[in-house]
A and B are shown apart, each in its own frame.
Chain A
């Protein structure tokens, strides 16, 4: 064990030769989330093959996504991009009649410089369906960042909060009152109502969550008498939340930095920088931060957190003192590591594709505090990791658990290292108090499985240990 673990958060950057999913995979969960959408991935056979294999059975359920597969004629510009896309979009409109078509730009459209953003508005007016363009390509982004690009593009489509119009409405009301003075009661009610709405600070949460998890989080905030005025994305494209200068926004996932930037800079919203509601500690910190912005004294949060920790006892006994190594591929790593450290685990390394220190600032602070509180050395944070080097480090450290992509999971298991497939964290319900258990359920699964197999004497299942 010669690798020294440092005392402060240490950031490193490696070669970027790591395995992750292509960001176009975000269509898999976003098309399910946004019920009236259609995702069109403009790319090559490679993109299609990835989606087909990565999403397995979903492919056969008549999904609301498809490939616009580029052929040699498209690449060499023998065909007209606009006409081609128009043809496909008309077909999609005819077959599915979605409320929005989302074009996912890929590496190929980047390289041949296909002007998707330029074509979309023109085609939009021609076929009368909104077209949103998101460049979720592997040249710039990793895995979950795909969702970030889609939500950032969608933020532009959210209706403007109509404070001006409300005022006008009131004036209209007055004039109505003047004309129809036999209707005083009703108008009075109306003005009162708009007054109340104005007083209430609108809060929009961003990040795609299964609707049950979204309502759990809304409910937690409601307990603190905070009303969530909308979600980006909503269940339907037609229900996108209103945004504007007075609107507060807060992220629920660590990979949404572009969306956050767009909301702040382009839509003038106020961003609440909080840790993310993953694990009971994170959820509490998240609610507390929102409360503090709204000048509300949080009620009964501490007890609630304590109660959840109590309920996790059995899992905590399993994980306490065990070590974890995050190879890094989905940007949830910091939050998960923070939660696991609070659970009593030791984290050797947090690999992460991309680290936005500003957007994740509160989360990083909480990580640091948690390490101090638990008297555990700070883990090293490795941005753009190199999988080959990581495997060498893992060979020395022999962690109890490696959280890794599927490309490495089976080979590591064969070498006696317990692994948990990282992609499951993006598909499982992990947010809020209610789902803290699910995170530990995932983390402990390999440990529990191996408790059962431990005495069989076949942990190492490869013939020659190379090098």
Chain B
């Protein structure tokens, strides 16, 4: 048992549901007790989703506990098949239901006989993998299922597209700025003259998965989700993949150069020409993106040697560390990730760019580290933002777990050349806010004129008896003053001099009338 208040990555089924509900016309059925469908709330609220989240629960209740699910799961699957006619139904166990050890595969086999949809069982161990690992696993499972199906039916077409093309793998719902990143990646590839073959899972149809092998290469923007799929496609179809995250000027260039190398394997044969992206990289770096110029400007000079701490998922924490250290000259006192399963890769990425590396999924450890290091700014998740609030250190949010404010309506990619601008703003704003704060503290605030009294009331003619005083103290601080004023106003109007609890509530009713 572990005493825990907060966790960075959610339970496995959340990952599965995120992948399933990102595809179009795929329905997930959770084998779960009442209340476990909280995923629907998150998707509906955080993503401000207009459509009903295609996730329902086959409820595990007392009866199921006593007698087993029996027909219930099968009925729920076939019913959903009739109602929504999805292409695929994914049966998803939860931590609770996986202890029941029911033969869910059997339910799936039975249900798939009587329904038009394909039915699969999400194959994840709830006590060994977290949300991100499960998402990675599920995506691979779905892709494998459809490619093997196509192969069996002889529909598999593995000839490459005429023009260079790419699959973008790993964009999905509730991902950190994923929608914006996706748009930016599409633009980048378009600029390079590369066709987008498929984007999965977000907005993709499972029926189209058999087209995946037609792309020249796969692009995996985030390491957390998509790598397993890329490895599978490489092994089965010899498809190369690029997993350098195009975040920050340097890594975008790296990523583009790798793309160039990949497509130049085939293009002299198929198209009779070689691609050269160097002029594009140069133009974008020096003139389109403002980040390179920013790091040269005097603004950024002021940031030199300032201390920062970075924490987040492996992809974002590693990239941001590299950007801060190499592109802006900021000193990274500590960088860390909660992706413990990817520790080796992470260490290798950041070891030369920071003083210290922290791999943990315990937020108190992160908090203690921040308190000890006392950086000028933090770049982390929502948790680090709150740690920063408590310690009075500004924080830029660079990774999930996230809150609704991290699903902005405006265009805010982290990837690609526009992403570099966004990141530069984020970094600069975090630091200046910190500096401004500091200056204010030294000079005693913007407004040095003292306000004599915050309340309009004077205590001369009115007395509060001890009960009403006690009652007043129960009212939350931010409205207490207002309530006090209103009560006294009411009392004066009615020639009451002694304020009792009754007077307080009479005043409230009077006001609301």
> Which residues in A have some Cβ–Cβ distance to B below 8 Å?
16-17, 19-24, 42, 44-46, 48-50, 52-54, 56, 59-60, 63, 66-72, 74-75, 79, 84-85, 87-88, 91-92, 106-108, 110-112, 137-143, 211-212, 215-216, 219, 307-308, 310-311, 388, 391, 405-411, 414, 433-434, 437, 461-462
Q: Using CB atoms, name the residue of chain A closest to B55.
A: A407
Cα A92 to Cα B5 with chains together (Å): 12
Given contacts A139-B62, A409-B44, 19 further A-B contacts (CB under 8 A): A17-B59, A20-B34, A21-B35, A45-B10, A45-B130, A49-B14, A50-B35, A53-B41, A59-B6, A68-B3, A72-B128, A85-B1, A108-B99, A139-B33, A139-B65, A142-B35, A215-B471, A391-B52, A434-B505
> Does residue B49 face the partner (Cβ distance < 8 Å to A)?
yes
Q: Are B37 and A407 in contact (CB under 8 A)?
A: yes
Closest residue to B385 on the A side, CB-wise?
A: A60
Q: How far is the CB of A405 from chain B (nearest CB, A)?
A: 7
A90 to chain B minimum Cβ distance, whole angstroms, is 11
| B residues adjacent to A (C-beta < 8 A) | 1-7, 10-11, 13-14, 32-38, 40-42, 44-45, 48-53, 56-62, 65, 76, 83, 94-96, 99-100, 126-128, 130, 383, 386, 389, 403, 471, 474-475, 501-502, 505, 508-509, 512-513
Among candidates B14, B76, B127, B513, residue contacting A71 with C-beta atoms closer than 8 Å: B127
Min CB distance B22 to A, Å, is 17
Q: Which residues of the other chain, B, contact A138 by a CB distance below 8 angstroms?
A: 32-36, 96
Q: Which residues of B contact A106 (CB under 8 A)?
A: 96
The 6 A-B pairs at the shortest CB distance, nearest first, are namely A22-B35, A311-B513, A138-B33, A407-B40, A414-B50, A44-B95
Bound Cα distance from A84 to B1, whole angstroms: 6
- Of A68, A75, A410, the residue contacting B127 (CB under 8 A) is A75
Chain B residues near A54: list those with CB within 8 A: 38, 41
B interface: dominant SS:
mixed
The answer for the CA separation of A216 and B512 in the assembled complex, in Å, is 15
**Residues B3 and A107 in contact, CB atoms below 8 Å apart:** no
Q: Is the CB of A60 within 8 A of B44?
A: no
16 A/B residue pairs, CB under 8 Å, sorted by A: A17-B76, A20-B34, A44-B126, A49-B10, A53-B38, A56-B403, A68-B1, A85-B1, A111-B100, A138-B34, A138-B96, A216-B505, A219-B505, A391-B52, A407-B44, A433-B509
A74 to B2 CA separation, bound complex (whole angstroms): 10
Shortest CB-to-CB span from A212 to chain B, Å, is 6
**What B residues does A46 contact at CB under 8 A?**
11, 13, 36, 94-96
A68 touches B40 (CB 8 A): no
A142 partner residues in chain B, CB cutoff 8 A:
34-35
Q: Are A212 and B34 in contact (CB under 8 A)?
A: no
**B509 and A308 contacting across the interface, CB-CB below 8 Å:** yes
Residues of B with C-beta under 8 A to A59: 5-6
Q: Is B14's CB under 8 angstroms from A388's CB?
A: no
In the bound complex, do residue A408 and residue B52 qualify as a contact, i.e. CB atoms below 8 Å apart?
A: yes
Measured CB to CB, the nearest residue on chain B to A216 is B505
A411 and B509 contact, Cβ closer than 8 Å, known pairs A66-B3, A219-B501: no
Task: Report Cα–Cα, A300/B326, bound state, in Å.
Answer: 77
A458 to chain B, nearest CB (A): 12
Tell me the smallest distance from the CB of B122 to a CB of chain A, in Å: 14
Q: A139-B62, A140-B61, A212-B474 are in contact. Are A88 and B35 (CB under 8 A)?
A: no
Chain A residue at smallest Cβ distance from B98: A75
Q: How far is the CB of A109 from chain B (nearest CB, A)?
A: 10
Contacts of B13 in A (CB 8 A): 46
Our pick among A17, A44, A409 for the contact of B11 (Cβ within 8 Å) is: A44
Shortest CB distance B41–A (Å):
4
Separation of A102 and B383 alpha carbons in the complex (Å):
26
**Residues of chain B within 8 A of A310, CB atoms compared:** 513
Verify A66–B513 contact, CB threshold 8 A: no
Partner of A67, one of B4, B126, B474: B4
Contacts of B59 in A (CB 8 A): 16-17
Tell me, in angstroms, the Cα distance from A70 to B99 when the chains sit together: 12
* Residue contact A19 to B94, C-beta cutoff 8 Å: no
Q: Which residues of B contact A63 (CB under 8 A)?
A: 5
A225 CB → nearest B CB, Å: 14
Find chain B residues with CB under 8 A from A72 CB: 127-128
Closest to A41 in B: B4
Known: A52-B7, A139-B60. A107 touches B41 (CB 8 A): no
Q: Are A407 and B509 in contact (CB under 8 A)?
A: no
Chain A residues with CB under 8 Å of B127's CB are: 71-72, 75
- What is the CA–CA distance of A54 and B41 in the complex, to the nearest angstrom? 9
Find A434's partner among B3, B14, B126, B509 (CB 8 Å cutoff): B509
B41 engages A211 (CB within 8 Å): no
From B6, B36, B50, give the contact of A411 (CB < 8 A). Answer: B50
**Minimum CB–CB distance for A218 against chain B, Å:** 9
Contact check, A20 vs B41: say whether CB atoms are below 8 A apart: no
Q: Which residues of B contact A84 (CB under 8 A)?
A: 1
The residue in B6, B48, B49, B474 that gathers the most chain A C-beta atoms within 10 A of its C-beta is B6
